[in-house]
Amino acid sequence: MLHTRFIGTGHYLPKTVLTNFDLEKIMDTSDEWIRQRTGIHQRHVAAEDEATSDLGLEAARNAISDAGIAPEEIEYVMCATLTPDYFMPATACMIQQKLGAKRAAALDINAACSGFLYGVQLADALIRSGAYKTILLVAAEKLTVRLDWRKRDTAVLFGDGAGAVVLRGEEGEHGVLSTFASADGSAYQMLHIPSGGSREAITPDNINDVERGIMMDGQALYKRAVKAFGEATERALQQTQLTSENIKLFVPHQANKRIIDSATSRLGIPDEKIYLNLDRVANTSAASIPIALDQARKEGRIVDNDIVLMAAFGAGLTWASAMVRW
């Protein structure tokens, strides 16, 4: 049977690090307050001249090098992001051009924090259909440009970064075992950026009045996130007829440690099987899972034949999961 294998991983984090102690100097917060509520200690911040495609390009180069392929072998470039370089063209087109992946189609995916796993599902379907063999899936975010640094409920949560994987169709039992994705658009106002799109354009007349940053209903979102994580992971187990005991590593979207702890305790997944890096990188939205995947591999937490479960929850509302035999 043809399976979609992860043949390469890579990530990139900007050089500048912003700690909780740095945030204490610019807003009403404290290191203790942030750590207790989120588990975050620091986050990376992209330079002014670093766009989302620049972050994604570095992650893509690392993933391609890890896969041992040439850019010309890539047939499709997908970029999961909610912070594109431009409204038009797609950020994937910018990455495709900078990489020199001349044969590749290019597409952006906006499912917020679930974007990477939406991309895995789409790429898996395209590969198994026989339409494409080799797909580069990048997830990149420059979220710090969409933060209001006066609002500690959101500003302390997010960071910049990018992750990428090279996916290839190969015969055998290794690769993507299952994918799942769902959404509930009726609850979009729990987490959204109100202005900047066609619904509420930013104009010279309203630029000082509109909300340009991320808006979040934290309490309502917490409840929905725990429930959605549970549904996504249960569907992955049901589809593969596996149990939590079969899982070698669970790589969740790195949003909030309390959400992850609540979700995994319900699922019976022990701490030693959970990969966390949000203390170092914070919430990088779509990029969080591929960044964590690459770091976990480099730390020896993922080796050949391991069963890896991934799950995410984000704005939309969206949620998704994927089960992979490495």
Catalytic residue among 20, 62, 256, 283: 283
Task: Specify the pairing of strand 249-252 against strand 307-314.
Answer: parallel
pLDDT at residue 313 tops 80: yes
Indicate whether this model's pTM tops 0.85.
yes
**Size of the chain in residues:** 326
> Residue 93's pLDDT is what?
98
Kindly state the tokens that stand for 279.
């203390």
Catalytic residue among 253, 256, 277, 305: 253
**Catalytic residue list contains 253:** yes
Rg (C-alpha) for the chain, rounded Å, is 19
Segment 286-312 shows an average pLDDT of 97
**Bridge partners, 178 (sequence order):** 323
> Residue 193's pLDDT is what?
87
> Given 3.40.47.10, 1.10.10.10, 3.90.1150.10, 1.10.1030.10, which CATH number is that of 2-173?
3.40.47.10
> Residue 90's pLDDT is what?
98
> Residue 244's pLDDT is what?
87
Q: CA quadruple 223, 225, 230, 232: dihedral positive or negative? A: positive
Catalytic residue among 11, 113, 192, 256: 113
Name every residue whose Cβ is closer than 8 Å to that of residue 16 and which is 6 or more positions away in sequence. 44, 45, 46, 47
> Residue 182's pLDDT is what?
96
pLDDT tens per residue across span 158-184: 999 999 999 999 999 899 999 999 999
> Residue 235's pLDDT is what?
93
HEC readout, the chain: CEEEEEEEEEEECCCEEEEHHHHHCCCCCCHHHHHHHHCCCEEEECCCCCCHHHHHHHHHHHHHHHHCCCHHHCCEEEEECCCCCCCCCCHHHHHHHHHCCCCCEEEEECCHHHHHHHHHHHHHHHHHCCCCCEEEEEEEECHHHHCCCCCHHHHCCECCEEEEEEEEEEECCCEEEEEEEEECHHHHHHEECCCCCCCCCCCCCCCCCCCCCCEECHHHHHHHHHHHHHHHHHHHHHHHCCCHHHCCEEEECCCCHHHHHHHHHHHCCCHHHECCCHHHHCECHHHHHHHHHHHHHHCCCCCCCCEEEEEEEECCCEEEEEEEEC
**Catalytic residue list contains 62:** no
Binned at pLDDT 50, 70 and 90, residue 205 comes out as: confident
pLDDT tens per residue across span 52-74: 999 999 999 999 999 999 999 99
Give domain limits for the chain. Answer: 2-173, 177-325
pLDDT tens per residue across span 226-259: 999 889 999 999 999 998 899 999 999 999 898 8
Same fold, 2-173 and 177-325: yes
pLDDT at residue 287 tops 90: yes
Binned at pLDDT 50, 70 and 90, residue 152 comes out as: confident
**Catalytic residue list contains 256:** no
The domain 177-325 belongs to what CATH superfamily? Thiolase/Chalcone synthase (3.40.47.10)
